Structure 1
Amino acid sequence: MSGTDTLASPRPALWQGAAGRYLAALAVLLLALLWHLHLNSTLSLSQQWSLILGRAPETFDDIQFVYAALPRVVLAILVGAVMALVGSLLQQVTQNPLLSPMTLGAASGAWLALVCVSVWWPDLAPDGRSWFALGGAVASVVLVLLIAGRSGLSGLPVILAGMATHILMGAVATAVILLNQYATQNLFIWGAGDLTQTDWSWVQWLLPKLSVALLVLLIAPRPLALLRLGDAGAGARGLSTGPILVVLLMLSLWLVASAITAVGVISFIGLITPNIARSMGARTPRDELCFSLLLGATGLLLTDSLAVMASDWLPDLLPSGTAVALIGAPALIWFVRRKLSAKDQTALQLPEGAARVSRWSWWLAPLAVVVLVILGLCFVPDAFSWRQPWVAFQWPSDLVLSLRWPRLVTAACAGIGMALAGLILQRLIRNPLASPDILGMSAGATFALVAFTVFIGGSIHEAGPFVAFAGSAGVLVLLLLLGRRAHYAPGIMILVGISLSALIEALVQFVLAKGSDQAYAIIGWLSGSTYRVSDAEALWFAGGTVLLFGLSLATGRWLTLISAGDHMAQARGLNASRARLVLLVLVCACCALVTALMGPIAFVGLLAPHVATLMGARKVWPQLWLAPLVGMVLMLFSDWLGWVLLYPKQMPAGTLAAILGGSYFIYLLARRRLR
């Protein structure tokens, strides 16, 4: 058979299959549209159709249908289609099924920019807001690309870089919200992704902005087809990959920024629908783009319909973005779990440090802890002056001491606990970028505590570490079940972490959308605050931390053998499976204890072991001592800085630790790439 015959023969079957898929998808879209209109209006189908054809609204139900139900349907179709189109475009460009505006960091950058605009320029027109959102998205994506590099776009490095950027941008946004609570009240519903409309203004504003999607459909298919041949193959056929990638990326970011400006963050559509399109037979670039666009419109319509139904059952409105995340997170695991394998070990690497810990390092870390404790106890922010800085130091009174020492103990113990959890995970998985916040351990504890507060009632501090441990243990079981088939590949574990983080954000945004005092209490706890820890809780926290630290030291030999390989461990008489399970339970206990008392702490578990390694602690025993000291220094400094930086206002230690640790972590990764 000739080459021409080979290419031509499958064409009829391919187009017949594609036609069937499109007809089925259009039918489902039409049914979803009718169902959505039925849920949002009491009018009959004939009455709705007459209004659509131009009959003037007369009754209240007519007005509600024309100015609320119809704009919501149109907006859901537009936003769902565009987010799916962008997700398909990004995944085809990078050949990475986990890439989307969410995992690339674009959504978090646009969200941070719009939070800042809402605080400092609240009267800015939507056109100006969209440009700020575009700037935030571009900044985040440039940062992610700088970290991952071109070679890391097709694997886990870009996902890890995107998660790090997402956590950092989220911490900065949280700081802005906490400092400007009254100016950000209206952001909560919008941040959860809200499609509720009262007129056609947002549709009229968004429609010309999203017309860029037509340009993407026209120019993208041929470059995407050539990119499948690789850079060399595309260059041999006259395609300069660099400029076309920049153009496609900028068009994608413009679409994302415009959609987020209009309806808030609805991110999972762009991650899931391209995977569904490929699983249903979409093969060519144009086919995948068009079919993803159609599925995105259908998917957002269906999830928004479910949100409308749930709002009738619940006492509060369920935002559309929350419904998308609650459905999308499990769906993501289902569709992508088989595509990740043990070969996904490609990961970012941090710079190498000293060969061994110097004597100065062993003295420097404890000295830094002592200095920070003295600062926390004796420093008086309102008495500080650059001419006479010593005046700001005085021994605290009994009252001041009783207020400050629980905060210091809590911050120090949180640093120890998260450092131990990160160190053990990195040794167990043999992945230098494993940490409780990346793999979902902290996310599970947070989810359990927030869910307990929302659905059972009471303060989040009343839930306690046992509820948090149940959440972490649930994540552990999920990791073990999903990871066993893939031999505990990092991709599966990171996928679970992404999904659980999205679930937590969805639940938290649902709570924050109420705008109640409970919302601010939860967001204050989520930022990692030491404010409300009592004397008894601090002592109890310290006792638990000492116990967990002692258990970690006792398992030092296990960590050494397991990090060398299961075969080495078994040759030395260690039951590797049983030891791994015990160590994972120890990680859950560390995360649960810290999260229950202080809230989720990001980057400390990731960064503290690396800093200890940079200082020369390459073996387990030096790391077990030095990494907790580094964690203590980071948390104590964050707590002190949050206290004095904007005095008399205060910033939570967890938020400052995420900003400082995330910035330094990204600097280390970017420095290695630049070199």
Structure 2
Amino acid sequence: MTVAATLDRAESGWLRAPLTRYLLAGVALLAALLIHLSLNSTLSLADQWSLLWGRTPETFEDFQFVYAALPRVVLAVLVGAVMAMVGSLLQQVTQNLLLSPMTLGASSGAWLALVCVNVWAPELMASWGAWFAMAGALLSVILVLMIAGRSGLSGLPVILAGMATHILMGAIATTLVLLNQYATETLFIWGAGDLTQTDWTWVTWLLPKLSIALLVLLVAPRPLTLLRLGDAGAGARGLSTGPIIAVLLLLSLWLVASAITAVGVISFIGLITPNIARAAGARTARDELCFSLMLGAVLLLLTDCVAVEASTWFSDLVPSGTAAALVGAPALIWFARRKLSSRDQTSLQLPEGAARVGRRVWVLVPAVLGALVLLTLCFKPDGFAWSAPWTALKWPTDLVLSLRWPRLVTAACAGVGMAVAGLILQRLIRNPLASPDILGMSAGATLTLVLYTVFIGGSIHEAGPVLAFAGSAGVLAILLLLGRRTHYAPGIMILVGISLGALIEAVVHFVLAKGSDQAYTILGWLSGSTYRVSDAKALWFAGGTAVLFLLALSTARWLTLISAGDHIAMARGLDTGRARLVLLILACALCALVTAVMGPVAFVGLLAPHVATLMGARKVWPQLWLAPLAGMVLMIFSDWLGWAILYPKQMPAGTIAAILGGSYFIFLLTRRRLG
């Protein structure tokens, strides 16, 4: 059969798609609509039907149905269908099953934009807030695409770039929220993703902007079919892949930004729905787009039903985005677990730098670390003057020293722990863009502590390290269960990280939307704080970090052999399966220890091994020493900056480290892409 015949058959394949599949989807959509309306209204089906056919509302229940229940169900159908169709479009354009609006960072960009407007120009929020959110989402996605590049769209680089951008923008937004609590408290329900409506305003605003989806359904299938042939095959058929990819991505971004602006952040619909559609038998481009559209409406309707029903169990409203994350995270792992294998590797070259570690480095780095230690202990922020900055340096009193040294030790140990964990993970999966944040180990500990605080009560600072270890161990168990069949493929690890990250974000926004006193306490802890670390806890933290660091040094040979490749490692007599398991447990213990003491710390595990490599630590042994030193420098400097630059206000060290490390990391990636 000729290529032309194949294309024509593929183009018309949607007409011969199994009728049963679409009939079942239609029945499911109708059932979801009826269930949703019954949960949101006390009216009988006959009364609802009469109102739909034009009867004038008279009672409160009539008005509630017309102006609350109906707009909500229409928005659920529109947003679910569009997000699913965009997810299918993105995955077909890039041939990347993990790509979606969520993993591209659109939600974090919109969230940061709205926080900035509320803080610096609140008078513009009512009239222009939607457009600022749309601009933030577009800029965030463009940044991710610039970092990943076209060659990285089909693999893990774009997912990693999206997660890095999400963490960076989330850290900046958190900083603004903590410094301007009263100006931003009204945004939390939007950040949680909520479909609740009181009139038809958002429906009428959104509907014209989503009409472009019809154009996508008409125009996109043939280019998508050609793209399946590859660049060479598409070029032979007269299709220039570069421009068509750009146009389809721009259309996708417009639809996503519009939906996010209207209802907030609702994750996973665009990620799991196309995978479900393919599992159900959708094969051609048009079939997958259309069937994903139908399934997306069904899934968001049912998810919102869960949110409505759960709101009756709790005293507070459960946002739709929270329910979507709780349902979508396990579903994502379930549907994608067999599609990822050990072949899902993305080999990225180590950054350019010195060929070996020079003597100056071994002198300069400890000297910088020592200077930072003295600065942390001796700096007096209220005595600083630009004309004579040295006057702010004075040896601390016993009281000041007793307050500062636990924070100093905590920051230093957190830097060591995350740096060593990041080094182990980067060597394990042979990808310098990996980090403990990607694996979700810190996320598991964080989720356990937050859930304990929300549903059981008590302070998150007193929840105890046992819960943190239990959360990290749970993530490790998931990784081992899935990794045994996939040989610890990076795709599975990233999948778990994405899922847990979305779960944590959903739970946190749920807590913040409640407006309780514990909301900002949890938010501050999630930023990575050294505030409440006592003398005893700091010493315990230091002892545990030292033991784990010595264990990491003893695994240097394993890391060296695994970095060279499994075949070489096995030829040298290394049991790679057992070695990977031990190294994974070690990384898990380091992440759990840091998270239990001061909360999650982002980007340190990503950046510290990178900096060590730039300084010439190409081999494992020098990298095992330089990466912890770099991590200590970054965390101690971040902790000092957090309480010194904003004095008398303070910012958590983890937030400052995420902003500094994330900005530098994205700068390096962008410079590498442009140069």
Provide TM-score, normalisation by structure 1. 0.95
| Identity fraction in percent | 79
1:529 paired residue number: 529
Q: Deviations over 1:602-628 (max 9, x none)?
A: 111111112112111222221221111
Change (3 A) 1:501 1:10: closer
Q: Deviations over 1:416-445 (max 9, x none)?
A: 111111112223333333321111111111
Match of 1:623, as an amino acid? Q
1:417 paired residue number: 417
RMSD (Å) for aligned C-alpha atoms = 2.2
Q: Deviations over 1:480-536 (max 9, x none)?
A: 111121122111111111111112212222222211111111110000111121222
SS in 1 for 2:245: helix
Paired residues for 1:273-284 under 5 Å: 273-284=273-284
1:466·1:592 contact (CA, 8 Å) conserved in 2? no
1:351·1:668 contact (CA, 8 Å) conserved in 2? no
Deviation of 1:343 (Å): 2.2
Match of 1:170, as an amino acid? G
Deviation of 1:115 (Å): 1.9
2:541·2:597 contact (CA, 8 Å) conserved in 1? yes
2:24 paired residue number: 24
Deviation of 1:124 (Å): 2.4
1:174·1:527 contact (CA, 8 Å) conserved in 2? yes
Deviation of 1:337 (Å): 2.0
Moved more, 30-39 or 499-508: 499-508
Give me the whole-angstrom Cα distance separating, in 2, the residues matched to 1:87 and 1:271: 6
1:215 paired residue number: 215
1:544 paired residue number: 544
Change (3 A) 1:46 1:421: same
1:233 paired residue number: 233
2:34 paired residue number: 34
Q: Deviations over 1:20-69 (max 9, x none)?
A: 32222111111100000111111110011111112122222112111211
1:622 paired residue number: 622
Asked if residue 242 in structure 1 is aligned to residue 245 in structure 2, the reply is no
Deviation of 1:447 (Å): 1.2
Paired residues for 1:14-413 under 5 Å: 15-124=15-124, 128-413=128-413
Match of 2:166, as an amino acid? H
Give me the whole-angstrom Cα distance separating, in 1, the residues matched to 2:654 and 2:10: 58
Moved more, 3-12 or 400-409: 3-12
Moved more, 174-183 or 534-543: 534-543
Change (3 A) 1:583 1:524: same
1:83·1:267 contact (CA, 8 Å) conserved in 2? no
Deviation of 1:569 (Å): 4.8
Match of 1:667, as an amino acid? F
2:340·2:491 contact (CA, 8 Å) conserved in 1? yes
1:268·1:329 contact (CA, 8 Å) conserved in 2? yes
1:435·1:606 contact (CA, 8 Å) conserved in 2? yes
Change (3 A) 1:583 1:229: closer
Match of 1:645, as an amino acid? I
Query: Structure 2, unaligned stretches of length 5 or more?
Result: none
Deviation of 1:5 (Å): 8.3
Change (3 A) 1:361 1:579: same
Deviation of 1:382 (Å): 3.1
Give me the whole-angstrom Cα distance separating, in 1, the residues matched to 2:320 and 2:77: 13
Give me the whole-angstrom Cα distance separating, in 1, the residues matched to 2:20 and 2:626: 62
1:114·1:261 contact (CA, 8 Å) conserved in 2? no
Moved more, 351-360 or 424-433: 424-433
Query: Structure 1, unaligned stretches of length 5 or more?
Result: none
Q: Deviations over 1:156-212 (max 9, x none)?
A: 111111111111111111111111111111111111101111122221222222222
1:449 paired residue number: 449
Equivalences, count: 675
1:553 paired residue number: 553
Match of 2:128, as an amino acid? G
2:556·2:621 contact (CA, 8 Å) conserved in 1? yes
2:17·2:282 contact (CA, 8 Å) conserved in 1? no
2:526·2:599 contact (CA, 8 Å) conserved in 1? yes
Asked if residue 519 in structure 1 is aligned to residue 519 in structure 2, the reply is yes
Give me the whole-angstrom Cα distance separating, in 2, the residues matched to 1:550 and 1:268: 40
1:492 paired residue number: 492
Match of 2:399, as an amino acid? L
Change (3 A) 1:5 1:515: closer
Deviation of 1:11 (Å): 9.5
Deviation of 1:572 (Å): 5.2
Match of 2:315, as an amino acid? P
Deviation of 1:584 (Å): 2.2
Deviation of 1:12 (Å): 9.3
Deviation of 1:649 (Å): 2.1
Q: Deviations over 1:228-276 (max 9, x none)?
A: 2333333343433333333322222222122111111012111111111
1:350·1:672 contact (CA, 8 Å) conserved in 2? no
Give me the whole-angstrom Cα distance separating, in 1, the residues matched to 2:10 and 2:347: 39
2:458 paired residue number: 458
SS in 1 for 2:101: coil
Moved more, 535-544 or 519-528: 535-544
Change (3 A) 1:589 1:278: same
1:417·1:594 contact (CA, 8 Å) conserved in 2? yes
SS in 1 for 2:514: coil
Moved more, 240-249 or 559-568: 559-568
Change (3 A) 1:237 1:562: closer
1:422·1:434 contact (CA, 8 Å) conserved in 2? yes
Give me the whole-angstrom Cα distance separating, in 1, the residues matched to 2:130 and 2:9: 47
Change (3 A) 1:83 1:384: same
SS in 1 for 2:509: helix
1:210·1:258 contact (CA, 8 Å) conserved in 2? yes
Change (3 A) 1:407 1:13: closer
1:659 paired residue number: 659
1:103·1:159 contact (CA, 8 Å) conserved in 2? yes
Give me the whole-angstrom Cα distance separating, in 1, the residues matched to 2:351 and 2:7: 49
1:638 paired residue number: 638
Give me the whole-angstrom Cα distance separating, in 1, the residues matched to 2:514 and 2:13: 52
Change (3 A) 1:101 1:6: closer
Provide TM-score, normalisation by structure 2. 0.95
2:443·2:504 contact (CA, 8 Å) conserved in 1? yes
Give me the whole-angstrom Cα distance separating, in 1, the residues matched to 2:145 and 2:574: 42
1:157·1:347 contact (CA, 8 Å) conserved in 2? no
Deviation of 1:10 (Å): 9.3
Give me the whole-angstrom Cα distance separating, in 2, the residues matched to 1:240 and 1:91: 19
Deviation of 1:9 (Å): 8.3
1:612·1:627 contact (CA, 8 Å) conserved in 2? yes
SS in 2 for 1:123: helix
Give me the whole-angstrom Cα distance separating, in 2, the residues matched to 1:212 and 1:5: 30
Change (3 A) 1:126 1:82: farther
2:79·2:297 contact (CA, 8 Å) conserved in 1? yes
